[in-house]
Amino acid sequence: MAGNRAVAYMGPGVVEVQDIGFPDLVLRDGPGVNPLNVGRKCNHGVILKVVTTNICGSDQHMVRGRTTAPSGLVLGHEITGEVIEVGRDVEFIKKGDLVSVPFNIACGRCRSCKERDTHICENVNPDRPGSAYGYVDMGGWVGGQSEYVMVPYADFQLLKFPDKDQAMEKIKDLTMLSDIFPTGYHGAVSAGVKPGSTVYIAGAGPVGLAAAHSAQLLGAAVVIVGDLNGERLAQARSFGCETVNLREHPDLGEQIEQILGVPEVDCAVDCVGFEASGHGANAGEAPATVLNSIMQVTRAGGRLGIPGLYVTGDPGGIDEDAKIGTLKVRLGLGWAKAHTFVTGQTPVMKYHRDLMTAILSGRAQIAKAVNATVISLDEAPRGYHEFDKGAARKYVIDPHGLVK
């Protein structure tokens, strides 16, 4: 039987490539696996040979020690792979198929799944609705930053690419379908972006860049991206975005007014989340900064898409309230302006087929937008370190050397 090497979180700031067991169609006990999920049979699943798997900003929250993730947790929820084994109950997915795996694990049977809310499946996580691979408190499904991974509910979840050769030519784009591209797109859709909109995107990390490109695809007239990192802002400008540097110029409304002539936008997207920093050269962590600033600069009646991650447990929170996800949000401001807020994980399956078609047709250039950078499995610890330091890249792990 083949071995299986994977990237594991070992403690704050430390990831290692380890030998783990080759997957089978049963969820075994291991770091982070919910006891009620141990021994769960997955004859509806498949085993994938991982072709690409990406490092996500959500992974970085764990690696920084900002969650309750246990040592030894295998990371990775952005997975694209080739089917090498098929469970006895799988009918339509075949051995040899090249597929994208939504990061949400969804059964296809519960009320949420039937209503297309696959991000809050009721049957895959014994603790609460919603689950994901390789993520803290998400049921313990083993992560995909590995050579091989098990994926349950294959017929329902997996997006098969129609032509394998064509898919491999565009694999750096298609690998973004598991999370980052649908997440950025969901943020823009949730914010109500439409032709002619003016849009503010908070955060120029990979999800922010994906949201900015998505806003362009949806017809936005002006897309403004804000961040504290000049290199990441340069990446946003590389595909036509306006930018504001909130380290150098902390007054967001004033900077927007210099671009648009008015200090407000039609809609905004929070792609930062709970580790937000205050604005200005010497500002420290202030987790409600983005939420409050986007309410400030979004016009009355506007919408706010919030795909940025907020958690209920943050050991590194700046105060006791922040440690349980209680933030000083100016809800009264949002109420007074009649804002609409849309939060939570992204229901990837609502969007991934359409976005695949946009990629294959050449309409979407997501790999270029996020500066996709391919590394080997052994280079993953370095990739995590560079990403944590603010590199303007989206790291794509190629475990088997299959990407040209």
Q: DSSP characters for 325-338?
A: T-----HHHHHHTT
Q: Output the average pLDDT for the chain.
A: 96
pLDDT score for 375: 98
pLDDT score for 2: 73
Residue 272 near residue 293, CB atoms below 8 Å? no
Residue 254 near residue 263, CB atoms below 8 Å? yes
Closest by CA to 149, choosing from 74, 41, 70, is: 74
In this prediction, residues 30-41 reach a mean pLDDT of 95
Which domains does the chain carry? Answer: 4-179+347-397 (3.90.180.10), 180-343 (3.40.50.720)
* pLDDT exceeds cutoff 90 at 267: yes
Q: Which residues contact 369 (CB under 8 A, 6 or more apart)?
A: 209, 210, 212, 213, 239
Residue 397 near residue 383, CB atoms below 8 Å? yes
pLDDT score for 208: 98
pLDDT tens, position by position, 214-259: 999 999 999 999 999 999 999 999 999 999 999 999 999 999 999 9
* pLDDT exceeds cutoff 90 at 163: yes
pLDDT score for 86: 98
Query: b or e along 237-255 (b: 16 or more beta carbons within 10 Å of the residue's beta carbon)?
Result: eebebbbbbbbeebebeeb
Angstrom distance (rounded) from CA 360 to CA 180: 17
Closest by CA to 349, choosing from 191, 214, 158, is: 158
Angle at 374 between CA 93 and CA 200, to 5 degrees: 90
Q: How far is CA 147 from CA 21, 56, 169, 317, 372, in A?
A: 11, 17, 20, 34, 20
Residue 164 token pair = 């394998």
Give the SS3 label for residue 151. strand
Share of the chain above pLDDT 70, in %: 100
pLDDT score for 399: 98
Query: b or e along 393-402 (b: 16 or more beta carbons within 10 Å of the residue's beta carbon)?
Result: bbbbbbbeee
* pLDDT exceeds cutoff 70 at 329: yes
Q: What is the pTM of this model?
A: 0.96
pLDDT score for 391: 95
Residue 83 token pair = 């089917």
Closest by CA to 397, choosing from 97, 140, 76, is: 76
Read off the pLDDT band of 72 (50, 70, 90): very high
pLDDT score for 326: 93
pLDDT tens, position by position, 277-324: 999 998 999 999 999 999 999 999 999 999 999 988 889 999 999 999
Any idea which of 111-120, 264-273, 281-290 has the lowest mean pLDDT? 281-290
Residue 225 near residue 236, CB atoms below 8 Å? yes
Listed in order, strand segments (DSSP E) in 55-96 are 73-74, 79-86
In this prediction, residues 204-208 reach a mean pLDDT of 97
* pLDDT exceeds cutoff 60 at 1: no
pLDDT score for 114: 97
Q: Which class for 319: exposed (0-12), middle (13-18), buried (19 or more C-beta within 10 A)?
A: exposed
Residue 42 near residue 141, CB atoms below 8 Å? no
Read off the pLDDT band of 404 (50, 70, 90): confident
Read off the pLDDT band of 61 (50, 70, 90): very high
Q: Which helix (H) or strand (E) holds 222?
A: strand 222-227
